[in-house]
């Protein structure tokens, strides 16, 4: 259904740059809270297990992979959006379930 929506937007003349901006914001809307929840959960768990100083160190060690997760979520969204063309609208519509 999402492919049909994107192809329809492109078919109706919405600029691809605008779609990229919309999808980037939508991806941030779910990925940032997920990363913040992971940071909070790891900080809470590490504080309970080994104290505050170790928890901060443990959380700082986890930040690079979490930031990489944010970036790869954005990259995946951009690649998925780039792979859809407006000419595919009718094929997507015909094959929807």
82-94 tens-digit pLDDT:
888 777 666 666 6
Q: Give me the domain span that covers residue 81.
A: 2-95
17-65 tens-digit pLDDT:
888 899 999 999 999 999 999 999 988 998 998 888 888 888 888 889 9
Q: Judge contact between 58 and 42, C-beta under 8 A.
A: yes
**CA 74, 78, 81 angle in degrees (round to 5)?**
140
Instruction: Name the token pair of 14.
Output: 């919405």
User: Exposure of 25 by Cβ count < 10 A (0-12 exposed, 13-18 middle, 19+ buried)?
Assistant: exposed
Number of domains the chain is built from: 1
**CA 34, 49, 59 angle in degrees (round to 5)?**
40
């Amino acid at each position: 259904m999402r492919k049909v929506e994107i192809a329809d937007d492109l078919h109706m003349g919405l600029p691809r740059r605008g779609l990229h901006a919309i999808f980037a914001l939508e991806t941030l809307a779910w990925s940032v809270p997920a990363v913040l929840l992971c940071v909070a959960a790891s900080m809470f768990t590490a504080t309970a297990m080994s104290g505050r100083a170790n928890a901060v160190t443990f959380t700082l060690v986890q930040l690079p992979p979490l930031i990489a997760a944010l970036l790869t979520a954005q990259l995946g969204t951009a690649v998925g959006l780039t792979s859809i063309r407006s000419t595919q609208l009718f094929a997507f519509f015909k094959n929807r379930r």
